Amino acid sequence: MSSIILAAPDVLCEPDLVGAAAPAGLTVVRRCVDAADLLACAAADPCTAVVISAGVPRLSGDLVARLRDHARPVVALVVLDEDEGRVRAWGIDTVVRVTEPRQTMTHVAEALDAGPGQDRLARGATSANDPRPNGVWQTGLWADDHPAKARSSAPSGAGPQGASGAEQAAGPTGSDGSIVAVWGAAGSPGRTTTAIGLAQACAAAGRRTLLVDADTYAPSMALLLGIAEDASGLIVACRHADNATLSSRSLRASARSLSARLAVLGGLPRADRWPDLRESALARLWQACRQTFEVTVVDTGPCIEHEPHGSLNPVLASRRNAAAITALGHSDAVVSVGRGDALGVARLAAGYPQLLECAGDAERLIAMVTPARGAVGWAQVRDALRGVGLGDPMVRLEPAPRQHARRARLGRLPHESRYAGRERATVEALAGRVLAILQDRMGQEVPPAA
């Protein structure tokens, strides 16, 4: 017999499901009433399959992702179409429609025996001695449901109307956009400033652009832009993702509009709020950004190491570096910002192997922030980078500290104030290189926004 942890407190026939488990070949080792109870049981027994319903209190997509770690089987019990859409948005592919209790548990047993990736969606099935042949067991009551009215079976990974979980999360927007991550090793200046200038240059080029502050160590984008927010847009968007309510509309509502083609998703109000940014929610957020905006520029934190879990059991832990790691993993291009001196080159070289591991097959550019004048100074920086094995294409950035301080005091974007021509030219050159990379990667030019 297979052992399961059952968490279905919102299903009124849950006691009957427990009683029908043994005849179906299942053993219910624990009944859970909320997400905390469920996580504790799952942490204590990492091999037992989990059977959950969509209405478990405080259950979220991130908690479901933790339950599914190490290939643990997770089966969802659904009563309504809305329940099915919600669990599929959480990434659960094995879904069983609640019918007569014994038949429901039989379908659960079959799904567990079939292994991962097998969808056992039972709709309107009835037992042999059911006096009402078209009866469906819903929340403990018999209800009429003619087979002709039932929805057609969706393929594995699809939600209602045959839409995939990703499509449900973000809504139809046409072709997917691109994600550009701006990263720099610890001590590298100019990450946030470069991200802001890059995003505004992309918007000026006609792209619908989203700027995201995903730095979990020193979030400062809202301060630089003079934005006073009561709530963090990034946290709000991640909560939508956790609750399976993230869509193009909710993502735009979470962001702050800076211009007709530029919006910003504010970061953490305090660095200690990083546990609110969960890995699975961030992964769904980046996917929604692709489907809502043409270009998403993400300002990441410097630390991208795969830190150990904060507890002895991975089911109960969160990671502070999840925002940077997931952004790099979903990016199409990565801009590595460094300082144009010996210390900056050394720090960039030390962190680059970890960047290569996180960024996967993303295209890479190195942007060196250097006040060096003349060909000799820049040539020395390039030689130093190549000398430590960094042969990726390089772009020179020349900041104007005095103008930058003035913009920060006024809360203005770079293009909203008069500032040094060379600084603006270098930022626009970087944006041009990035857009060219994205165009080549997509195989066609991204159409400008209407």
The tens digit of pLDDT for each residue in 146-202 reads 323 332 333 333 333 333 343 333 433 345 899 999 999 988 778 898 999 899 999
CA dihedral 317, 320, 321, 325 (to 10 degrees): 60
CA dihedral 263, 296, 356, 310 (to 10 degrees): 60
Q: Is residue 216 within 8 Å of residue 323, measured between CB atoms?
A: yes
Q: Enumerate domains of the chain plus CATH numbers.
A: 2-163 (3.40.50.2300), 170-442 (3.40.50.300)
Tokens of 298: 């993400």
| CA neighbor of 96 nearest in space, from 114, 113, 112, 119 | 119
> What are the helix (H) ranges across 263-373?
279-292, 322-329, 342-359
Element (H, E) at 440: helix 421-442
What pLDDT digit, counting tens, does each position of 37-70 carry?
A: 998 888 888 889 999 999 999 888 888 888 887 6
> What are the helix (H) ranges across 360-394?
374-387
Backbone angle region of 389, left / alpha / beta, with phi > 0 → left and psi within -120 to 50 → alpha: left
Sheet strand arrangement including 95-97: 26-31, 2-7, 49-53, 74-78, 95-97
> What are the helix (H) ranges across 231-341?
233-242, 248-254, 279-292, 322-329
Tokens of 402: 């005095």
Mean pLDDT over each residue of the chain, to the nearest integer: 79
What pLDDT digit, counting tens, does each position of 235-280 carry?
A: 999 989 888 889 999 999 999 998 899 999 999 988 888 988 988 8
Tokens of 219: 């979030």
According to DSSP, the residues that pair with 283 across neighbouring strands are: none
Q: For the chain, give the number of residues.
A: 450
Element (H, E) at 109: helix 101-114
Task: Tell me phi and psi for residue 52, to 5 degrees.
Answer: -130, 165
Q: Is residue 359 within 8 Å of residue 181, measured between CB atoms?
A: yes
Tokens of 143: 């209800």
Alpha carbons 160 and 86: distance in angstroms, whole number: 10
Task: Tell me phi and psi for residue 264, to 5 degrees.
Answer: -130, 135
- Which residues have C-beta within 8 Å of that of residue 203, sequence separation ≥ 6? 209, 259, 261, 262
pTM beyond 0.95: the answer is no
| CA neighbor of 183 nearest in space, from 327, 335, 366 | 335
What pLDDT digit, counting tens, does each position of 197-244 carry?
A: 899 999 999 999 999 999 999 898 888 887 876 678 999 999 898 888
Alpha carbons 28 and 263: distance in angstroms, whole number: 49
Angle at which helices 342-359 and 322-329 cross, to 10°: 70
User: Has residue 315 got a pLDDT over 70?
Assistant: no
A 10 A CB-CB count for 28 gives: 16
Alpha carbons 284 and 281: distance in angstroms, whole number: 5
pLDDT score of 280: 84
| CA neighbor of 390 nearest in space, from 421, 360, 426, 365 | 365
Alpha carbons 225 and 299: distance in angstroms, whole number: 14
Counting Cβ atoms within 10 Å, is residue 182 exposed (0-12), middle (13-18) or buried (19+)?
buried
Q: Are strands 95-97 and 74-78 parallel, antiparallel or unpaired?
A: parallel
Element (H, E) at 135: strand 135-138
Tell me the mean pLDDT in the region 105-127: 65
Predicted confidence band of residue 110 (pLDDT cuts 50, 70, 90): very high
A 10 A CB-CB count for 272 gives: 10
